[in-house]
Structure 1
């Protein structure tokens, strides 16, 4: 069974809003209070995109559900719950369209994102904060999402095993919830912090196999994916991958560069599926249109299997 999740949330939302403060300390989380409808419209674009043509039939056959990653406000827990509850209402309506409930995954991102120094992509902060401090920071956000009724947690873009361990221990405080966990990676073998990817993934399953639905990587160049998955060797657990488009983020310019070097992810999909990846989606710069292409490819592949 292959499960298709959504693509890049921030990239699509920015195009819905058009004008906003890109230097705002909360980045796109600001929309939770300033323009909540933009949040809803972005998620709706992904849901409706997966319904086009005859995909609803193949969605049922492949048991594919759209996984929605809800953005987390780093300063206030209330917006999280507000948006999640609003989406429960929209989700109820989507059952009429799809004949099946759309699952909502509440996004739990790295602690470093609140520091506004780029350390969420290095994990440098893990050398100066304790596991307790990380747990105390994440707990109210996870609590707000759980109380709002998300189906599971999307613990994502985690740069270091140290933070992953803290989060998976914290997850045990929410026994009724499942989660996937995905690392950001600096190369084809290591997490952003430098942990060996294979060892980090295996450690996650050791800590909390009861609540994990998948472990893998996100926010990585598509070219990293196959080597990362191959580094796992033979595995008997679900792997999740949602890669970027392949562009490079220029910190000084605050924009994506190397757009001319992008290779369509569909060129990689066959190998990813052959390697046994179970959960597949997109991250930065991936859109509902891209996910439609993924859906078409997965559907076509299933028909010839």
Structure 2
């Protein structure tokens, strides 16, 4: 079954955080500590990949059926800048991330279908200055953004081990347009499925200040090629406050109603009490409210077009277990 078919068949449970889970696991004084580093979880992937596999395992054990690879900050340009890696060396890192997910599946759910989703982070992750929360990219064109994402997209498009590609935490409207333009070029032969989740300023605005209604209108009404229409399986949000998600969903659906079209298929995996002081990207805190998390997940499940639910920063196996329990109840 394809990822798209699975989304249409029933709601599916995504995994939770990787980077912040590593931060909780690895003491700050440990050489493997990732907090505030430009490579983030990719550092552990390169040096101690078994730790990545263990986190994947923990989510599968709690009911996740989707594993997102640990490559959010592992673009070719990022690996070249911080590790002086060649294209071939970068591809080996990307392969290692996929292998970590595959290993976890073999250990926990060898006879079950688990979707491996390859993560491609925003250009803001390369800048490593918090731009994925602001969309402040400086002077960069859509064509330059296409080239930034090209190598990773081409690699994952050719991989038989990747079920879907996730462009995550996208804060800028021009980057959304770049991704859809690039997908049309790269995916025309392989038809690999992908989704785009957005980084938002609030429930009504993309992080760069663009009204979400404009972004949704573009996705719903632009005359895309058959390649994009077939392969672009969902949009949604991630790395946003979980309290904002229900209104985000409502705004997406209002746009569809205003255009008299079917609503977008949505995937949501927000933060759970993550607060980031952008004056110092290494300093942030978590303020969890567990009783509110389940209530929020219940609310998201009331929207029939929300087909994938998971967690981003500061979520862990217990939050995924809550999602799994609630989703199972709503699927039956």
Give the TM-score normalised by the residue count of structure 1. Answer: 0.85
Is 2:62–2:324's contact at 8 Å kept on the other side of the alignment?
no
Match of 1:193 among 194, 205, 208: 208
Which range moved further: 84-93 or 35-44? 84-93
Q: Say yes or no: does 1:266 pair with 2:294.
A: yes
Note the residue ranges of structure 1 that are not aligned, 5 or more in a row.
51-63
1:11 corresponds to: 20
Q: Say yes or no: does 1:27 pair with 2:55.
A: no
Go from structure 1 to structure 2 and tell me whether the alpha carbon gap of 1:35 and 1:93 turns closer, same or farther (over 3 Å shift): closer
Q: Say yes or no: does 1:116 pair with 2:128.
A: yes
Deviation, 1:88, is 3.2
1:45 corresponds to: 58
Alpha-carbon separation, structure 2, partners of 1:181 and 1:286:
20
Q: Once the two structures are superposed, what CA deviation does each residue of 1:42-91 show, in whole Å capped at 9, x if it has no partner?
A: 111111222xxxxxxxxxxxxx8324333242313320122213433543
Note the residue ranges of structure 2 that are not aligned, 5 or more in a row.
1-9, 80-89
Q: Say yes or no: does 1:131 pair with 2:145.
A: no
1:81 corresponds to: 95
Q: Once the two structures are superposed, what CA deviation does each residue of 1:191-223 show, in whole Å capped at 9, x if it has no partner?
A: 101122132123234343221111111111112
Is 1:81–1:147's contact at 8 Å kept on the other side of the alignment?
no
Which range moved further: 196-205 or 131-140? 196-205
RMSD value over aligned CA atoms? 2.3
Is 1:6–1:67's contact at 8 Å kept on the other side of the alignment?
yes
Alpha-carbon separation, structure 2, partners of 1:184 and 1:113:
12
Q: Say yes or no: does 1:204 pair with 2:216.
A: no
Q: Say yes or no: does 1:230 pair with 2:242.
A: no
Alpha-carbon separation, structure 2, partners of 1:246 and 1:21:
19
2:87 corresponds to: none
Matches of residues 61-100 of structure 1 in structure 2 within 5 Å?
65-72=65-72, 73=74, 74-75=78-79, 76-92=90-106, 94-96=108-110, 99-100=111-112
Q: Say yes or no: does 1:283 pair with 2:331.
A: no
Match of 1:249 among 246, 270, 276: 276
Does the residue aligned with 2:292 lie in a helix, a strand or coil?
coil
Go from structure 1 to structure 2 and tell me whether the alpha carbon gap of 1:250 and 1:261 turns closer, same or farther (over 3 Å shift): farther
Is 2:122–2:171's contact at 8 Å kept on the other side of the alignment?
yes
1:54 corresponds to: none
Is 1:159–1:184's contact at 8 Å kept on the other side of the alignment?
yes
Give the TM-score normalised by the residue count of structure 2. Answer: 0.79
Alpha-carbon separation, structure 1, partners of 2:315 and 2:148:
29
Go from structure 1 to structure 2 and tell me whether the alpha carbon gap of 1:129 and 1:252 turns closer, same or farther (over 3 Å shift): closer
Alpha-carbon separation, structure 1, partners of 2:330 and 2:170:
31
Is 2:168–2:198's contact at 8 Å kept on the other side of the alignment?
yes
